[in-house]
C-alpha cells in the first residue's frame, strides 16, 4: 500500500508538471498578436493543441491509475486513463494508456491464458489516496504473496456495480470484461451491431469504443470527427462525462433531431403522424413533389421585349425541362441548365423573327448580333421571372412546409394525418428536411464566383505589396553586377498568390464544432445508441453522414417503442449494405439484480414465451413490490420519502400524461425535457428513461404503458423496484407481492 501510494503521489506530481507546462504555453501564446495571418495561425494551432492536452490532463485527474501488470519476463507496467511519461531523455513510461496493446492482458488474461502475466493488480483510489489493492495470481508457480490476494476475481467489478449512482454514467475502464474488450477494439471499418438486453453495458461499451478508435486512428478520426447519436437530451446529459473522463473531448453528441443545422425541433407530432413521416415511402413522395415544382406553361407565357413579344410555350419549356433533368443534378443545381436552355431558345426565337431575310435568304444577323440579343434576354427580369415560375429556386424548409400543407403522392388517410399549415418543426420533420436538401442541392455558383473574385483582389493587393517592398531593390540588383541573394530569396519564397493565402484567416474550430454546423459533413465513425428506435427516414439521414459506412450500432429490438422504429437489424441495414455487417450480442446483465430481472422478463415473455433475458450476475435479496392506492400523487410522495436511498438516485417513471402532476408533488425533484439527473429524485416518462439507471425506481400506473415502455421502466433499477397503481396490474405483474410481504422475505 505504501509503495503504491508513493507511486500515485509521483504520478500526480508529474501530471501537475505537465499541466503547468501546457498552461504556461497557452498563457504565453494567447497575447501574441503576430504581424501577419501566418503568425496568428501558428499561435492558434499551438493554443488549440495545448488546450486539448490540458483537457485530457484534467479529465484524467480522477482515477488516474487503476491497475498494474507484473509479467513473468520482468516487465512491470501501471495502467491508467491516459499515458504519462517521465521527463527524461528516454521519455520512460510511468503509466500506460488503457487503450495501448500492452494493456490488453489487464482485461483478457485468465489463469488458463495468463498472457505472460505473473499477477494482475487492481488499485482502488479515492481522490489521490490509495484505499485498496486486489491482486490476482495468474502464474500458480509464483510463490510470492502480498497479502492483498483475493479469492473472488470479480470483487472489483461487483463493488463498482453495487456503488451508489451519481446521475451520470461512469466509465468502466477499470472493469472492462473480455467480451466487452473484444467489441471495443474491433476494427473500425464497416458496420458493427452490438445487441444486448437491459443492463448489458452496450452503451458504455460503445463509448469506450469511441475512445479506443480515437486513440488507435487519431489522425484520421480527429480530422473527420466521431458522431454519437443518442435518443434524447436526458440520455446525452447522462453519458456526457464518459468520454471526457477518458481524455477525449473532440466528439459530437447529438440527438437525431439536432442533425439539420439551423433548425430546432420544438413541435410535436402524434404517434401516427411521426410513424408516417418516418416511412421510406416519404423519400419517393418528396422526390415526386420536387418534380411537381418543375412545371410547364398553360398554355404559354408571353414576355414583353423591346423587339417584340417572346413566347415561352409548353413545348419549349418541356424541352428545357428534359435537358435539365438529363443532367442528373439535384433541382437547384439543375436549374441553370433549364435557364440556359430557355434563354438559348428565346434568343433563337427572337433571332429568327428580326433577322429573317424577306427574300428567303440566310438570317441577316451575324454572330455578334445574336450574342448581343442573347445577353439582353439573359438579363431580362421578365425572362428570369418566367424561369422562376417554371423552375423555382427552393429551400428545404420551403419545400417541406409546402409538402406538409398539401401532402400529395400519399394515400388520403396518411395525407390527412400529417397535414399541417402552421407550428414549429417536429423531430420527425428533420429527416424530411435532410431529404429535401439532398433532392434540391445548393447552388453555390454565385458564392464561389464571389469568393474567386475576392481572391483575385487579394492576389492583386499582395502583388502591390511585393512590388512596393522589393521593387526598388530588384531594380538595384539588376543594375549591379554582384549577387543580391536576399532579394532573390524573397522572390523565391514569396509570390503574390502565396502571400494572399496567408492573409486568409483559417477556421480554427475543432472538427466536431465544424461538423455540427455542416449538414454535408462526412464523419469518420458514427455510433448510434437505441438504434432500433430510428425510422427508415432517419436512417437515410444518418447514412449520408457516414458515406464510408464505418458505424457502431447499439440497441435491443426487444425494447423498440417508437411506432416508426425499424426494430430488426436486417430491415435497417439491408438497403445500405445488404448482409455485409457484423453482429455481436452481450448476454450478461451487470445492472439489474436477478430479483428485478425475473419480474421484468415476464413482460416480453407474455407475448413471446421463448423470450430469454440477459443473465444477471448480481442478487440483492430485495424483491420488487406493488401497492394499490386510490391517490397516486399522495402515494408517490410518501413512497419517495420512505424509499429514498441514503446515497444514490431515485427515479419515478410514469406515463407522460402524469409526470407534471407527480413532479409538482415532489418539490425537490427534477423533471421536464432535460431533467437534472444529478438531483436525488427525478420524474421521467418511459422514453426519457431509456439507457439510464438509478438505485431505486418507482413505476407508476403500469397498465398505461406499452409493453416495450414497461419493460424499459422495470429494468432501470440497480437495487430496489416498486410499483404504484390504481388500476389492475398488467397480467405480467399480477404476482408482485405487497411491499410488506416483499420486505418480510429480504435475506
For residue 510, say whether it is annotated as part of any ligand binding site: no
E strands in 223-375: 226-229, 251-254, 300-303, 310-313
From residue 717, give the alpha-carbon distance in Å to each of 682, 698, 743: 13, 9, 17
3-state secondary structure of 742: helix
Specify the residue for cell string 493587393. 461
Q: Is 197 annotated as a binding residue?
A: yes
Binding site annotation covers 196? Answer: yes
Q: Which residues pair with 155 in a beta bridge?
A: none
Nearest CA to 246 out of 98, 144, 447 is that of 98
CA–CA dist 40, 33 (Å, integer): 6
CA–CA dist 290, 162 (Å, integer): 57
Q: How far apart are CA 644 and CA 720, in angstroms?
A: 10
Q: Flag whether 203 is marked binding.
A: yes
Q: What angle do CA 325, 428, 403 make, to 5 degrees?
A: 40
- Residue 717, all three cell numbers: 433499477
Is the CB of residue 359 less than 8 Å from the CB of residue 332?
A: no
Residue the block writes with cell 414576355? 303
DSSP 8-state code for residue 149:
B
Q: What one-character DSSP code corresponds to residue 56? A: H
First to last CA, the chain: 35
∠ Cα 246 250 255 (to 5°): 100
Asked whether residue 202 is marked as a ligand-binding residue, the answer is: yes
Place of cell 454565385: 446
Round to whole Å and give the CA distance between 726 and 631. 8
Task: With beta carbons less than 8 A apart as the criterion, state whether 58 and 41 touch.
Answer: no
CA 133 to chain centre: 38
The set of residues, in sequence order, having a beta carbon less than 8 Å from that of 542 and lying 6+ positions away, is 229, 256, 259, 526, 528, 534
Establish whether 199 is an annotated binding residue.
yes
**Is 31 known to sit in a ligand binding site?**
no
Q: What is d(CA 69, CA 123) in angstroms, rounded to the nearest whole number?
A: 11
Question: What proportions of the chain, in percent to the nearest 5, are helix, strand and coil?
Answer: 45, 15, 40
Rounded CA-CA distance 740/747 in Å is 14
| Strand ranges in 106-207 using DSSP code E only, listed in sequence order | 117-126, 129-137, 191-196
As a whole number of Å, the CA-based R_g of the chain is: 33
- Coil, strand or helix at 126: strand
Q: How far apart are CA 394 and CA 388, in angstroms?
A: 10
Residue 324: CA count within 13 A, CB half-sphere: 26
Annotated ligand binding at 201? The verdict is yes
Q: H/E/C letters for each residue in 198-222? A: CCCCHHHHHHHHHHHHHHHCHHHHH
User: Is 408 in contact with 289 (CB distance < 8 Å)?
Assistant: yes
The three grid cell numbers given for residue 692, joined into one nine-digit string: 439510464
Peptide bond into 299 cis (omega under 30): yes
Which grid cell is 672? 421536464
* Beta strands 300-303 and 310-313, pairing class: antiparallel
Are 527 and 226 within 8 A, CB to CB? Answer: yes
The backbone torsions φ and ψ at residue 66, rounded to the nearest 5 degrees and listed phi first, read -130, 0
Whether the Cβ atoms of residue 54 and residue 26 lie closer than 8 Å to each other = yes
Binding-site residues: 196-203
Please enumerate, by residue number, every residue annotated as part of a binding site for ATP. Answer: 196-203
Amino acid at each position: 500500500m505504501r509503495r503504491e501510494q508513493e507511486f500515485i503521489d509521483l504520478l500526480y506530481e508529474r501530471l501537475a508538471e505537465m499541466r503547468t507546462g501546457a498552461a504556461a504555453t497557452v498563457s504565453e501564446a494567447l497575447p501574441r498578436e503576430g504581424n501577419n495571418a501566418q503568425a496568428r495561425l501558428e499561435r492558434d494551432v499551438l493554443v488549440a493543441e495545448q488546450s486539448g492536452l490540458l483537457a485530457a490532463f484534467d479529465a484524467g485527474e480522477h482515477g488516474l491509475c487503476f491497475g498494474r501488470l507484473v509479467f513473468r519476463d520482468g516487465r512491470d507496467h501501471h495502467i491508467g486513463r491516459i499515458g504519462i511519461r517521465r521527463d527524461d531523455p528516454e521519455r520512460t513510461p510511468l503509466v500506460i494508456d488503457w487503450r495501448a496493446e500492452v494493456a490488453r492482458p489487464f482485461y483478457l488474461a485468465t489463469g488458463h491464458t495468463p498472457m505472460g502475466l505473473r499477477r494482475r493488480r487492481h488499485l482502488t483510489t479515492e481522490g489521490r489516496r490509495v484505499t485498496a489493492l486486489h491482486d490476482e495470481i495468474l502464474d500458480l508457480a509464483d510463490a510470492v504473496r502480498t497479502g492483498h490476494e483475493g479469492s473472488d476475481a470479480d470483487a472489483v467489478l461487483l463493488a463498482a456495480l453495487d456503488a451508489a449512482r451519481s446521475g451520470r454514467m461512469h466509465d468502466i475502464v477499470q472493469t472492462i470484461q473480455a467480451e466487452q474488450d473484444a467489441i471495443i477494439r474491433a476494427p473500425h471499418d464497416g458496420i458493427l451491431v452490438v445487441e444486448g438486453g437491459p443492463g448489458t453495458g452496450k452503451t458504455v461499451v460503445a463509448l469506450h469504443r469511441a475512445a479506443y478508435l480515437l486513440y488507435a486512428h487519431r489522425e484520421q478520426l480527429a480530422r473527420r470527427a466521431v458522431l454519437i447519436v443518442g435518443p434524447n437530451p436526458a440520455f446525452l446529459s447522462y453519458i456526457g462525462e464518459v468520454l471526457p473522463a477518458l481524455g477525449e473531448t473532440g466528439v459530437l453528441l447529438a440527438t437525431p433531431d439536432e442533425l439539420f443545422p439551423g433548425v430546432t425541433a420544438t413541435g410535436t407530432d402524434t404517434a401516427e403522424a411521426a410513424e408516417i413521416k418516418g416511412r421510406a415511402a416519404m423519400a419517393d413522395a418528396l422526390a415526386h413533389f420536387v418534380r411537381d415544382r418543375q412545371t410547364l406553361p398553360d398554355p404559354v407565357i408571353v414576355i414583353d421585349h423591346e423587339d417584340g413579344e417572346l413566347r415561352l410555350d409548353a413545348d419549349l419549356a418541356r424541352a428545357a425541362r428534359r435537358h435539365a433533368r438529363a443532367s442528373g443534378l439535384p433541382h437547384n443545381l439543375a436549374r441553370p441548365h433549364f435557364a440556359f436552355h430557355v434563354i438559348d431558345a428565346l434568343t433563337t426565337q427572337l433571332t429568327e423573327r428580326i433577322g429573317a431575310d424577306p427574300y428567303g435568304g440566310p438570317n441577316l444577323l451575324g454572330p455578334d448580333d445574336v450574342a448581343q440579343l442573347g445577353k439582353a434576354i439573359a438579363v431580362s427580369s421578365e425572362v428570369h421571372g418566367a424561369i422562376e415560375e417554371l423552375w423555382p429556386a427552393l429551400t428545404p424548409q420551403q419545400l417541406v412546409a409546402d409538402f406538409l400543407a398539401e401532402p400529395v403522392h400519399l394515400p388520403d388517410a396518411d395525407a390527412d394525418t400529417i397535414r399541417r399549415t402552421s407550428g414549429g418543426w417536429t423531430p420527425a420533420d428533420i429527416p424530411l428536411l435532410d431529404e429535401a436538401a439532398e433532392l434540391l442541392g445548393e447552388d453555390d455558383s454565385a458564392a464561389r464566383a464571389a469568393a474567386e473574385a475576392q481572391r483575385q483582389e487579394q492576389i492583386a493587393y499582395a502583388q502591390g505589396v511585393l512590388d512596393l517592398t522589393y521593387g526598388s531593390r530588384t531594380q538595384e540588383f539588376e543594375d549591379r553586377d554582384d549577387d543580391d541573394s536576399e532579394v532573390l530569396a524573397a522572390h523565391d519564397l514569396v509570390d503574390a498568390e502565396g502571400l494572399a493565402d496567408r492573409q486568409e484567416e483559417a477556421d480554427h474550430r475543432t472538427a466536431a464544432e465544424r461538423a455540427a454546423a455542416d449538414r454535408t459533413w462526412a464523419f469518420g465513425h458514427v455510433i448510434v445508441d437505441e438504434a432500433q428506435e430510428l425510422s427508415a427516414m432517419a436512417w437515410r439521414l444518418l447514412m449520408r453522414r457516414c458515406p464510408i459506412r464505418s458505424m457502431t450500432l447499439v440497441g435491443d429490438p426487444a425494447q423498440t417503442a417508437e411506432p416508426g422504429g425499424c426494430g430488426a437489424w436486417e430491415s435497417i441495414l439491408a438497403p445500405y449494405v445488404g448482409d455485409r455487417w457484423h453482429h455481436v450480442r452481450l448476454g450478461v446483465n451487470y445492472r439489474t439484480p436477478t430479483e428485478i430481472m425475473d419480474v421484468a422478463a415476464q413482460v416480453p415473455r407474455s407475448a413471446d414465451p421463448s423470450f430469454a433475458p440477459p443473465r444477471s450476475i448480481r442478487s440483492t435479496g430485495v424483491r420488487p413490490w406493488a401497492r394499490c392506492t386510490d391517490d397516486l400523487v399522495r402515494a408517490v410522495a410518501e413512497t419517495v420519502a420512505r424509499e429514498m436511498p441514503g446515497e444514490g438516485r431515485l427515479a419515478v417513471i410514469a406515463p407522460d400524461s402524469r409526470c407534471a402532476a407527480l413532479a409538482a408533488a415532489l418539490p425537490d425533484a427534477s423533471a421536464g425535457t432535460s431533467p437534472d439527473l444529478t438531483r436525488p429524485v427525478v420524474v421521467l416518462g418511459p422514453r426519457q428513461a431509456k439507457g439510464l439507471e438509478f438505485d431505486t425506481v418507482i413505476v407508476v400506473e403500469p397498465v398505461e404503458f406499452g409493453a416495450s415502455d414497461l419493460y424499459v421502466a422495470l429494468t432501470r433499477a440497480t437495487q430496489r423496484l416498486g410499483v404504484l397503481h390504481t388500476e389492475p396490474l398488467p397480467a405480467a405483474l399480477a404476482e408482485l407481492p405487497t411491499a410488506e410481504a416483499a420486505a418480510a422475505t429480504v435475506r
